[in-house]
Structure 1
Amino acid sequence: MSRKYKTIDLCAGIGGIRRGFELAGCFKNVLSAEIDKNACLTYEHLYGENPMHDITTEEFKQKVVNTSYDVLLAGFPCQAFSRAGKQEGFLDKTRGTLFFDIAEIIKRSNPKAFMLENVDNLITHQKGQTFATIIDVLVNGLNYKVIGVVKDEQTGKLVYVPKNFVRNSRNFGVPQNRPRVYIMGFSRDYYGDAVDNLPNELPICRKKPIYEDLRNLLEMDADDKYFLSSGYVETLERHKARHESKGNGFGYKIVNLPEIEHPVSNAILATGGSGKERNLVIDPKEGVAGKVVTSKQTPLNDKGIRAMTPREWGKLQGFVNYAFIDKKTGEDKFSFPEKLADGPKYKQFGNAVTIPAVEEMAKFMKKCLAELEKK
């Protein structure tokens, strides 16, 4: 049996990265950190432990140093770095950001490996300077081999193509157009030059899709509360027409129109609003048109247009109907804490990672660690 690698789960959200690694079969989580209270409630509900820790505090950093672990995992937010002078150290360029705290934790605890996840515009943020600084810190400052980065032997320059760090959820089994940056590294201090023999490209897809397309995922005849009011549909149509007249592509999107051969959703967002409006669906449920619902100012629309449900968002991210299915009984064990409103559910899924994509990264890391540690 392969050994278990201990992971720590930072900026954990509701534990999607952790779960993706658990599904790979040889990773066991030993410490978590998240500061959003609602996310912590869901995390505790799913995993039986409260992750409420702040990674920026000395108390938590010391806790990590005192914890025996192998792999650091983090889905940190994209933040601006100060344009500090060249005389400052690697870490100082990132001071005041959560990446600084993660890098400091890596420096002080020296894990065997790490995986960081971020939004795709990380690679273009501050005209590419943010990403360049992150790679510089990880490779030169912390002495890790980052998959996708090679050092030119003559000049010492780091050679890489930023877009090669981007992977799209739609290639990992779910019908969601969600590009994300994945950065994976292995410790030179621990493994020496053996890290240079690892494959230099992260997985680009999953072999077998979970859903053929969006139609395969949607659950029709949704609750009336998800259908838009006629007044709101008119507002959205006016807004879209206004932008189209200016040549813009802004506005609402219906993602399952019959003429679309293999529909895919747009990226779901933690902010909810535009993430919902760019992912409207037609659900021809009888008796909805013109229905008066107390929570809406005008009757329900007669075109069958509704928002996707939190459960459908959960399927797009692999939480529902995939990552928590009991292998023995086939029962889906994913659920939210009781009485959690839809708003936090949308936010938590929108903030989360796509578990099947992370699972492929975890399987790749598992192979790399096995290669590095074979006797």
Structure 2
Amino acid sequence: MPLRTIDLCAGIGGIRRGFELAGAYKNVLSAEIDPYACKTYECLYGENPYNDITSKEFKFIVKRIEYDVLLAGFPCQTFSRAGLQEGFDDDDKGVIFDHISKIIEITRPKAIFLENVDNLVRHDHGKTFDIIIRRLEYDLNYKVIGVTRNLLGEIEFSAKSFIRNSKNFGVPQNRPRTYIIAFDRQRYKKRVDMLENRLPDGNDLCLYKDLNDLLEFKKAPPHFYMASGYLETLEKHKARNRSKGNGFGYVVVNKKEHPIANTILATGGSGKERNLVYDPQEGIAGMKLPSKKTVLNSKGIRVMTPREWGKLQGFIGYAFLDDNHHDNFHFPKCLSDFQKYKQFGNSVTIPVIETMARYMTDCFKILGELPNT
């Protein structure tokens, strides 16, 4: 019988899909409040995940659901370098972890899987991450992978040991993220000490040789090409920063040997500008589009398409392939490019999640929850 998961702060279901691909898990409840993400989730899984984990109603529901593993990619804006870094002081997002820990307390899942930005471990000089780990270890009595206890029972850990990068898991994207896996010490007692106390460093998957192998050359519609005036503005901005000794500015990522993409971001913006690609097409240079103030640039520079972002995250070309190699990933009709970029940028890299799920499967075998075959 598969282990049952609940998918909190679900987005478009990347964490859920990674666990499903690992083969030993079945989702029984989901929660997401973004209406556009809910529509995509329903397109992919046939169920509307709209639930608010901060509500009493949801806690009432989840308390009566039998499940084994809690999954959550809880909001990262308050902890990211791109955000305001308010952390637990942010009324809307920082307290989400408090609600997750409350759900853990009242339901006691066998295991927990959490994902967040890499800056989580450094936020507020490490105090935020220390609060999270202490709450899991001391208050909730879970064994967090990567944490040890000394002879006095005090926890010890290296924050860096919780960060893994998508580029080591089969996709050409430099995307460091924080991953937290924990098992219920109250249930498993000293057996948790038998688990390998280290997250997977990578996998043997190679979906693409490099970014150029992923890009869909000469297929992007004209509107993905940058207007000449905007490209000139970016060039001047980068030159000013360079003169000050800074490395900030746009990046054409596919001109170097064996290129990989920079982190794609939910906010769009610099996530696009630091992932520009060189892809000249006939008839593009000088074209005038109603949506752009100046003609299209003559240097063959464009942003990556939402489809290419989907490939970077493993949604397209991997996670939804059927036995006939037909790709069943699809967005709802009429979803804007803005929402597509936001949803992919806000999601997870599915091959990373699948690898973490397989690691947890091995742990469950050691703990006696799954047959050791």
| Paired position in structure 2 for 1:218 | 215
1:368 is the counterpart of 2:366: no
Of 261, 274, 279, the match for 2:275 = 279
Aligned residues: 359
Q: Displaced runs of 4+ in structure 1, greater than 2 A?
A: none
Aligned-partner Cα distance in 1 for 2:239–2:60: 55
Matches of 1:298 and 1:59 in 2, distance apart? Answer: 52
* Letter of the structure 2 residue corresponding to residue 26 of structure 1: A
Give 1:156 shift. Answer: 2.0
Looking at structure 1, the residues matched to 94 and 307 of structure 2 have their Cα atoms a distance apart, in angstroms, of: 36
SS at match of 2:136: helix
Corresponding residue of 1:138? 136
Look up the match of 2:317.
Answer: 321
Aligned-partner Cα distance in 2 for 1:198–1:76: 25
1:146-185 correspondence runs (5 A): 146-153=144-151, 155-185=152-182
Say whether residues 1:344 and 2:339 are aligned partners: yes
Percent identity, aligned pairs only? Answer: 60
Deviation at residue 291 of structure 1 after TM alignment: 1.3
- CA apart distance, 1:96: 6.1
- Which letter does structure 2 place at the counterpart of 1:371? I
User: Corresponding residue for 1:55?
Assistant: 53
The 2-side partners of 1:5 and 1:236 are apart by 50
- Where structure 2 has 5 or more consecutive residues not aligned to the other structure, the ranges are 79-86
Q: Deviations over 1:65-98 (max 9, x none)?
A: 1000000000012442359xxxxxxxxxxx9610
Matched residue type, 2:267:
T
Deviations 1:3-42 (A, max 9, x none): 3000000000000000000000010000000010100000
TM-score, normalising length: structure 2: 0.94
Task: Calculate the TM-score normalised by the size of structure 1.
Answer: 0.94
Distance 2:232 2:325 in 1: 43
2:194 touches 2:366 (CA, 8 Å); kept in 1? Answer: no
SS of structure 2 residue aligned to 1:287: coil
Residue 96 to residue 249, structure 1, CA distance change in 2 (3 Å): closer
Partner of 2:294: 298
Separation in structure 2 between the aligned mates of residue 82 and residue 33 of structure 1, nearest angstrom: 23
Aligned to 2:304: 308
Unaligned ranges ≥5, structure 1: 84-94
Partner amino acid for 1:307? V
CA distance in 2, matches of 1:135, 1:75: 16
- TM-align CA RMSD: 1.5
- In 1: Cα distance, 2:132 partner to 2:125 partner: 13
What secondary structure sits across from 2:88 in the alignment?
A: coil
Residue deviations 1:304-333 (CA, integer Å, cap 9, x gap): 000000000000000000000002x21000
| Helix, strand or coil at the partner of 2:7 | strand
Matched, 1:356 2:373: no
